[in-house]
Amino acid sequence: MREAHPLERQVGIDYYVSDGPGTGGRLRADPADFRVREIEAMAPEPLDADPGAYPHLLVRATLTDWDTNDFAGALSDALGISRERVSWAGTKDKRAVTTQLFSIRGVDAADLPALSAAKVDPLGRIGRNLEFGDLAGNAFQIRVRDPDRPDAVAAVTEDLSEFGGGRVAVPNVFGNQRFGSKRPVTHEVGLHVVREEWREAVLVYAGNPAETEPERTQAARETVDDVAASADPDWQAALDAMPGHLGYERSMLRKLVENGGAEPADFRAALETVPWNLQRLFVNAAQSHAFNRILSERLRRGLPFDRPVAGDVVAFADADAPDGVALPDTGRLQRVSADRVDVVRRHCERGRAFVTAPLVGTETELGDGEPGDIEREILADLDLDPADFDLPGNFESTGTRRAILVDTALELARDPLTLSFSLPSGSYATAVLREYLKVDPRDL
């Protein structure tokens, strides 16, 4: 196996499946080079349905070079409504052309505004707002500009097909953007949170400068570190040094100024100043880091991903998934005993079951045999236990299990080099792209 990029190893991704060199090249030289379209899983009522029973307008938006959060804000501003009335199923890359669903509470199709670089089409009405994950998957069409070795795609495709048992497949890792593409520390914050090391969690987030940041930002984080190391911390000085655009860091430091910043409870209160979804992301990133490490160890040991071994836990396919989309139902799990390996293997070959690994939480049950040994060894090395996730407020997590393999019917065009593929909800395009390009993950 080929060793992964150093930044990937920081987040638990240790290897590439494919041994040969990648194509190299550039992504997103133009937003149109990176196209992503949601595979929709929401069937709305007609536009003239009773707004009392169906208060949310469902729209399909095609956006060019828009951040999802920024578009939601611009849409709510143009409508003159609260930002909280706009919801979506999945966050997309900014420098791209994206087609995705949004729900808007309490408006009619006639109210929709015209926004620059956005085409918004009303589809119908629904009875609740969209929630994260309300999509079956995403379809990608990605152009690679100026590849150094365009012919490398053949060897990579062969390796990935062998890995997937005849279909192009990759480990279902969480990409670097899960942890912070330029400063991958979100999982480090989460690991401290799970250990209830509140002071360390705040300092990793607000201090801890990275070379990839602007000099002013590095200097501000160095000030935080210096203040924290002093016998009598002057948190006001740290707040004064922090640039205005780092709003979350400033909110944490402001809370330390208010509370004194001397007790663990002060630092927990500082963490809780950030939005609830970021609080959860800290813990989710810790879970994701452990998951990536479990997959890396499974690769190192040569265990298969497309079929189970004794001790694995599989999830059966979701019977309610849209046609053509294979999704695991993590509510339907089964441990694979030695006498059931062959039977379950056939289910996996037919797309009826998926080998899983834990996103550890309070209700996580670990595997048996060698897969269970791997899971326990990684958790022990990270000083984690399922019971540790019994945390206050938005930091608590019950955990789940996640498929360890994602496969796709990938199509390649050579001139220009273009990769077209679809992935289920929750899987990362970078898991495929990293194998083909083998570049710095910040460039994916």
Annotated domain spans of the chain = 2-31+138-172+408-443, 42-133, 186-274, 277-403
DSSP state of 441: G
- Strand 135-143 and strand 86-88: the pairing is unpaired
CA distance 68 to 62: 11
How much is the pLDDT for 375? Answer: 98
CATH assignment of 277-403? 3.30.2350.20
Task: Look at the block and give the residue holding tokens 């879970």.
Answer: 287
Q: Please give the angle made by the CA atoms of 81, 84 and 89, to the nearest 5 degrees.
A: 120
**Omega cis (within 30) before 358:** no
How high is the pLDDT of residue 69?
85
Closest CA to 199 of 233, 223, 237: 233
As a three-state string, the secondary structure of 294-323 is: HHHHHHHHCCCCCCCCCCCEEEEECCCCCC
pLDDT given at position 232: 94
Cα separation of 212 and 219, whole Å?
12
Q: Which class is 42-133 in CATH?
A: alpha beta
pLDDT for the residue 132: 84
pLDDT number for residue 323? 72
pLDDT at 319: 84
Distances (CA, A) of 207 to 131, 300, 309, 365: 33, 34, 44, 35
Task: Kindly state the helix (H) or strand (E) to which residue 142 belongs, with its residue range.
Answer: strand 135-143
Residue with tokens 């001397």: 262
d(CA 423, CA 405): 11
301 and 370 Cβ atoms separated by less than 8 Å = yes
Question: What CATH number was assigned to the domain covering residues 186-274?
Answer: 1.10.1510.30
Give CA 234 to chain center in angstroms: 36
Return all residues near 175 (Cβ < 8 A) that are at least 6 apart: 428, 429, 430, 431, 434, 441, 444
Q: How many helices (H) and strands (E) does the chain have?
A: 13, 16
Alpha-carbon gap, residue 28 to 34, rounded angstroms: 6
Question: What CA–CA distance (Å, rounded) separates 278 from 133?
Answer: 16
Count of Cβ atoms closer than 10 Å to residue 391 Cβ: 17
Q: How many CA atoms lie within 13 A of 197 on its CB side?
A: 13
In terms of Cα–Cα distance, which of 251, 285, 284, 286 is closest to 270?
Answer: 251
Cα separations (Å) of 272 from 60, 198, 221, 285, 399?
A: 34, 10, 20, 17, 21
* Rg, Å, the chain Cα set: 23
pLDDT score recorded for residue 291: 98
Same fold, 42-133 and 277-403: no
pLDDT score for 181: 75
Asked whether the CA dihedral 114, 116, 119, 124 is positive or negative, the reply is negative
Q: Which residue of the set 33, 93, 159, 318 is catalytic?
A: 93
Residue 93 known to be catalytic: yes
The reported pTM is: 0.92
Exposed, middle or buried by CB within 10 Å (0-12, 13-18, 19+), for 383?
exposed
- List the chain pLDDT tens, one digit each, 444 residues: 899 999 999 999 999 999 999 999 999 999 999 999 999 988 999 999 999 999 999 999 999 999 998 999 999 999 999 988 999 998 888 899 999 999 999 999 999 999 999 999 999 999 999 998 899 999 999 999 999 999 999 999 999 999 999 999 999 999 998 998 788 999 999 999 999 999 999 999 999 999 989 999 999 999 999 999 999 999 999 999 999 999 999 999 999 999 999 999 999 999 999 988 899 999 999 999 999 999 999 999 999 999 999 999 999 999 887 777 778 999 999 999 999 999 999 999 999 999 999 999 999 999 999 999 999 999 999 999 999 999 999 999 999 999 999 999 999 999 999 999 999 988 999 999 999 999 999 898
The angle, 0 to 180 degrees and rounded to 10, between the axes of the packed helices 264-271 and 247-259 is 150
For residue 125, the surrounding DSSP H or E stretch is strand 118-126
